[in-house]
């Protein structure tokens, strides 16, 4: 068979495994990232600014709540398409993907999955249009890995609930119009839709971040915040409520870092072909070629892992442990590649003129949020041994 030149960022031609519709979604988001995100994102990161001006365009492309049904004004995409959305957004910046993950999987999904029909009709169309922005409050200052030990609580008061407590590290906190807040009640953990203009609600932005600088991260504070029972998500009780949302978001996060890794790898390969030292391009040295070849290998494995996970999800067969394995593998793959790319760029790699340092710093958050690497290793460890080591 004659040898054909392979695509360095898709050595196994994973794209040929996508449907026509999935390819169209990928191409549309890739164009958005190339034309609208990449020209500004280095400066956004520098200035610690989330590009809110892109929200209407993301909504127009159907990227908010993209997997939810069209009857609520959403795009009704399949899981693989949602994954491709995450991949292409994170090729731009993890902050953009974070915004879409939180809005879609952590805020719109629980309203859809656990909300009343009235709540779905009230919120989902406006959220799909980007007119209402959400944030998701699960993590608390005393320890995010163990959300069962939640201190924020909600107490019934007639037909209302009174919420007290605090949440920490909340993406979109200062942008949000509503917060999905998980609180301990006499009947177990429950979720509430809390308008951020409620009396007693405060959001305080986290500054001095070295990671996810083009994303808004906040602390949330609840001082006797009163919400009506109509704002409680009626169809779930217990930790499985928030954990069910995390499974949706973590699934998307398995795809996102593939985009970040591709951005770093593609840019660094080109650089290595141009950078001449000791009278030859550094790409002609065995040391650099082995590093680049190994990156291509790890990206290929991650692509196949997420695609199979997406096919399982679309078939209704995806298990949380499988999501943990892919979140662990793909975040680790991407952060290692971003750091190695930074090294190959030498001194030039330390500024945001090149993307690897920005992606490497962002991935410090991505490998931590939605369950740290250790949490996901222990989930897989529990599955294979049957012993809970948390």
Choices 29-37, 49-57, 241-249, 343-351; region in contact with ligand TGC by CB under 6 A? 241-249
Shortest CA distance to 97 belongs to which of 107, 111, 82, 112? 82
What CA–CA distances, in Å, run from 170 to 225, 313, 351? 18, 27, 27
Main-chain phi, psi angles of 290, to 5 degrees = -65, -40
User: Which string of DSSP letters, residue by residue, matches 296-342?
Assistant: HHHHHHHHHHHHHHHHHHHTT---HHHHHHHHHHHHHHHHHHHHHHH
Q: Please calculate the CA angle 43-46-49 and round it to the nearest 5 degrees.
A: 80
Shortest CA distance to 140 belongs to which of 187, 200, 189, 97? 189
Residues 6+ apart with CB under 8 A from 67: 74, 75, 76, 77, 78, 79, 81, 82, 104
Shortest CA distance to 167 belongs to which of 246, 249, 223, 85? 223
137 binds ligand FAD (CB under 6 A): yes
When binding is defined by CB under 6 A, the residue of 65, 73, 115, 144 that contacts ligand FAD is 144
29 binds ligand TGC (CB under 6 A): no
> What is the rounded distance in angstroms from the CA atom of residue 370 to the CA atom of residue 375?
9
The active-site residue out of 22, 140, 267, 370 is 370
Q: Which of residues 152-211 bind ligand FAD (CB under 6 A)?
A: 169-171
103 binds ligand TGC (CB under 6 A): no
What CA–CA distances, in Å, run from 116 to 110, 113, 242? 10, 9, 17
When binding is defined by CB under 6 A, the residue of 128, 212, 302, 305 that contacts ligand FAD is 212
141 binds ligand TGC (CB under 6 A): no
Say which entry of ligand TGC, ligand FAD, none residue 170 contacts (CB below 5 to 8 A, set by partner kind). Answer: ligand FAD
> What is the rounded distance in angstroms from the CA atom of residue 319 to the CA atom of residue 380?
11
Question: What pairing do the DSSP bridges indicate for beta strands 160-171 and 217-228?
Answer: antiparallel
What's the min distance (Å) between Cβ of 287 and ligand FAD? 32
The site map against ligand TGC for 307-326 (x = CB under 6 A) is -------------x------
Choices 8-16, 39-47, 242-250, 283-291; region in contact with ligand TGC by CB under 6 A? 242-250
What's the min distance (Å) between Cβ of 261 and ligand TGC? 17
Say which entry of ligand TGC, ligand FAD, none residue 238 contacts (CB below 5 to 8 A, set by partner kind). Answer: ligand TGC
Is 364 a residue of the active site?
Answer: no
Q: Please calculate the CA angle 191-192-195 and round it to the nearest 5 degrees.
A: 150
When binding is defined by CB under 6 A, the residue of 156, 240, 280, 297 that contacts ligand TGC is 240
93 binds ligand TGC (CB under 6 A): no
Q: Which of residues 86-105 bind ligand FAD (CB under 6 A)?
A: 102
145 binds ligand TGC (CB under 6 A): yes
111 binds ligand FAD (CB under 6 A): no
When binding is defined by CB under 6 A, the residue of 216, 365, 376, 379 that contacts ligand FAD is 365
When binding is defined by CB under 6 A, the residue of 136, 201, 271, 328 that contacts ligand FAD is 136
Say which entry of ligand TGC, ligand FAD, none residue 9 contacts (CB below 5 to 8 A, set by partner kind). Answer: none
Three-state DSSP class for residue 231: helix
195 binds ligand TGC (CB under 6 A): no
- Specify whether the CB–CB gap between 334 and 365 falls below 8 A: no
Say which entry of ligand FAD, ligand TGC, none residue 51 contacts (CB below 5 to 8 A, set by partner kind). Answer: none
Distance, first Cα to last Cα, the chain: 52
Binding-site ranges for ligand TGC (CB under 6 A): 98, 101-102, 136, 138-139, 144-145, 147-148, 171, 238-240, 243-244, 246-247, 249, 320, 369-371, 375, 379, 390
């Amino acid at each position: 068979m004659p040898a054909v030149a392979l695509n360095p960022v898709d050595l196994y031609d994973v794209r040929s495994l996508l449907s026509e519709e999935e390819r169209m979604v990928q191409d549309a988001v890739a164009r958005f990232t190339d034309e609208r995100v990449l020209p500004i994102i280095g400066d956004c990161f520098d200035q610690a600014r989330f590009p809110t001006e892109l929200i209407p365009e993301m909504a127009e492309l159907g990227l908010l709540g993209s997997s939810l049904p069209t009857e609520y004004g959403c795009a009704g995409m399949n899981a693989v398409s949602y994954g491709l959305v995450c991949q292409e957004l994170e090729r731009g910046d993890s902050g953009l993907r974070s915004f879409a993950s939180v809005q879609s999987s952590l805020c719109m999904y629980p309203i859809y999955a656990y909300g009343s029909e009235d709540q779905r009709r009230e919120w989902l169309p406006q959220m799909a249009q980007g007119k209402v922005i959400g944030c998701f409050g699960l993590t608390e200052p005393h320890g995010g890995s163990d959300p069962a030990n939640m201190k924020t609580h909600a107490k019934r008061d007639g037909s209302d609930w009174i919420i007290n407590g605090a949440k920490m590290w909340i993406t979109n906190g200062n942008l949000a119009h509503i917060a999905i807040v998980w609180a301990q009640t006499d009947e177990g953990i429950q979720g509430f839709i809390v308008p951020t203009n409620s009396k007693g609600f405060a959001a305080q932005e986290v500054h001095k971040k070295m990671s996810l600088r083009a994303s808004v991260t906040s602390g949330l504070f609840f001082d006797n915040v009163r919400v009506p029972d109509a704002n409680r998500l009626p169809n779930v009780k217990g930790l499985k409520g928030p954990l069910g949302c995390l499974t949706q978001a973590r699934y998307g996060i398995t795809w996102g870092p593939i985009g970040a890794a591709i951005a770093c790898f593609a840019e660094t390969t080109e650089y290595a072909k141009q950078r001449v030292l000791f009278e030859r391009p550094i790409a002609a040295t065995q040391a650099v070629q082995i590093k680049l070849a190994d990156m291509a290998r790890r990206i290929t494995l991650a692509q196949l892992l997420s695609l199979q996970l997406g096919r399982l999800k679309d078939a209704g067969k995806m298990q949380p442990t499988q999501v943990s394995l892919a979140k662990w593998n793909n975040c680790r793959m991407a952060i290692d590649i971003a750091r190695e790319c930074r090294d190959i760029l030498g001194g030039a790699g330390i500024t945001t003129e090149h993307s690897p340092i920005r992606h490497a710093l962002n991935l410090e958050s991505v490998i931590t949020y939605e369950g740290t690497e250790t949490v996901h290793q222990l989930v897989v460890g529990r599955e294979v041994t049957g012993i809970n080591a948390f």
